[in-house]
Amino acid sequence: MSKNTSRFLAIAAASLSIGIGAAYAAQPSGMGGMGHGGPGGWHNHFMQEINKLHGQLNLNADQQKLWQSALDTMKQNREAMRANHKQMRDQFKSMQQQPILDLNAMHAAHEKIAQQDAQLREQTSAAWLNFYNSLDDQQKTTVSTALKQHFAKMEQRHEKMRERWQQHHGDAPASAARS
What type of residue is 39? P
Question: Please, are residues 174 and 162 in contact by the beta-carbon 8 Å criterion?
Answer: yes
Walk along the chain (179 residues) in steps of 10 and give the mean pLDDT of each run. 54 51 45 45 74 93 97 96 95 92 93 96 97 96 92 92 90 55
Rounded to whole angstroms, what are the CA distances from 131 to 7, 43, 70, 83, 141? 14, 21, 7, 26, 14
pLDDT at 117: 97
User: Which pTM does this prediction carry?
Assistant: 0.66
Count other C-beta atoms under 10 Å from residue 156's C-beta.
10
What whole-number distance in Å separates Cα of residue 42 and Cα of residue 52? 15
